[in-house]
Amino acid sequence: MSAVHHRTTVVDGHRIHYREAGHADAPAIVLLHGFPTSSFMFRELIPLLADDYHVIAPDHLGFGHSDAPRAAEFDYTFDALADITSGLLDQLGLERYALYVQDYGAPIGWRLALTHPERISALVTQNGNGYEDGFVESFWTDVWAYGAAPGPDTEPAVRTALGIDAIRWQYVHGVPDPSLVSPDTWEHDFALVSREGNDEVQLALFRDYRNNRPLYPLLHEFLRTSEVPVLAVWGRNDEIFGPAGARAFARDAKDAEVHLIDGGHFLLESHLDVVAGYLRGFLGRVLGHAGS
């Protein structure tokens, strides 16, 4: 099994942490994590890919082991996070790569694809939304209200997402056997979002999330014109991004492969082997394997 390296580099003056495994000459896949976690969510997936692929999994600025400047010192938007990710991939010399996106990783990944469509060899979305169909309104109502009118009337509702109960809910809700999900996951994430000043970082991204929605038509056009291979492997019980969001990719992506699995938002925690099986089969068909 290939070793996983934990590295750091400086991008636009900010220290960015990333996990890297596999041979640099192998087909590349970039794993982009969601809220409120980090590349930690891919800790068990990376070794399952690294024998055949060059795997890169960064921590977004403000998350994991990357720098987390205060919101007063850095303008946290998804545009800015995508720019830093692009800078990292440029430093690493990745001229072509597949993307695996989940939650926040999706709008970051979509920006990478729209800016440099020629670099994208394949797209894998695991509960990473790209369609209005995917929004579960009961979850998103408070986020939209806060984004439209940030202030004391709307902020308390979204602040609850930073509490340990809400983070635990993201991990275990919709999982048929919650005992499969390690408490290390939500305790790890809660500790990081509880760092002094990180609440304001997360609130800034909550406010900016509505600016991802106008990208969706551009994404759909990219899927139609590029015919990039797409795999959607999705926890069908997710009440943040529902299964309709997975099925929607088949409208625009040619021969999209869609799998709905009896799990929740963080599918890798309960169904790692299932996801890895679909992922390795898909990548083998569309990218080949190292040395092939």
In degrees and rounded to multiples of 5, residue 98 shows phi and psi of -85, 155
For 2-15, the pLDDT digits (tens) are 899 999 999 999 99
Nearest to 115 by CA among 93, 77, 91, 84: 84
For 69-81, the pLDDT digits (tens) are 999 999 999 999 9
The pLDDT of residue 290: 57
What 3-state class would DSSP assign to 97? strand
CB 174 within 8 A of CB 143: no
The pLDDT of residue 222: 98
For 275-289, the pLDDT digits (tens) are 999 999 999 999 987
C-alpha distances (whole Å) from 43 to each of 4, 181, 185 are 9, 14, 11
Q: What is the distance between the alpha carbons of residues 119 and 114, in angstroms, rounded to a whole number?
A: 10
For 98-155, the pLDDT digits (tens) are 999 999 999 999 999 999 999 999 999 999 999 999 999 999 999 999 999 999 999 9
DSSP string, 15-47: EEEEEEES-TTSPEEEEE--TT--GGGGTTTHH
292 confidence band (pLDDT: 50, 70, 90): very low
Q: Please give the positions annotated as active site.
A: 265
Residues 6+ apart with CB under 8 A from 54: 20, 21, 22, 23, 24, 25, 26, 27, 28, 29
Summarize the confidence of residues 37-44 as an average pLDDT.
Answer: 98
On whether the pTM is more than 0.75, the answer is yes
Could you tell me what percent of the chain has a pLDDT over 90? 98
The pLDDT of residue 288: 80
The pLDDT of residue 1: 65
